[in-house]
A = this chain, B = another copy of it.
Amino acid sequence: MNYSKHRSLILDALKINTNHPTAEEIYMFLKKDYPKLSLATVYRNLNYLSQLCLVKRIKGLGNSDHFDYQTHSHSHFLCQSCGKIHDLPETIAPDINKSVEQILEAKVVYHDMSFIGVCSDCQKHHKVQF
């Protein structure tokens, strides 16, 4: 794999933008400064990068995938009210992969844990749930 300016920009965008953006959001973010950038390039590189485990692909509540620069195993909280994705420390369940391996006699490569509910901000502001 060769060096590519755009791939590097996409990785940087994810590093800066810690709010777990979608491909489209990364595209919009970079498009401002690099108008030549194409959406297909963003998708292509996010696929490369996630295959190389340089970024993490996250399934959210909607239909589009989100991406995370943090590749270490960690979990997320998805707010049903504001839609934001919050990070969680992995300490909540340290040896859970091992447990699953024992139960199913399977090899666990990684896990994807999401907690869905209402975040503290939205509870305070009495925002309407959708």
Query: Quick one: copies of this chain in the complex?
Result: 2
Instruction: Give the segment of A3-11, A22-30, A40-48, A96-104 that binds chain B.
Output: A96-104
Q: When the two chains form their complex, are residues B115 and A100 in contact, meaning their CB atoms are under 8 A apart?
A: yes
Q: When the two chains form their complex, are residues A115 and B97 in contact, meaning their CB atoms are under 8 A apart?
A: yes
Residues of B within 8 A of A111 (CB): 113-116
Complex Cα spacing A103 to B117, Å:
13
Residues of B within 8 A of A99 (CB): 92
Minimal Cβ-Cβ distance residue in B for A59: B59
Instruction: Give the segment of A13-21, A31-39, A118-126 that binds chain B.
Output: A118-126
Least CB distance from A79 to B in Å reads: 7
Q: When the two chains form their complex, are residues B106 and A110 in contact, meaning their CB atoms are under 8 A apart?
A: no
Complex Cα spacing A120 to B108, Å:
10
Most buried by B among A106, A110, A111, A113: A106
Residues of B within 8 A of A79 (CB): 106
Interface string of A38-79 (1 = CB under 8 A from B): 000000000000000000000100000000000000010101
Residues of A near any B CB (own CB < 8 A) = 59, 75, 77, 79-80, 86, 88-89, 92-93, 96-97, 99-101, 103-120, 123
For this complex, 5 residue pairs linking A to B, each with C-beta atoms less than 8 Å apart, are A88-B104, A92-B100, A92-B103, A109-B116, A111-B115
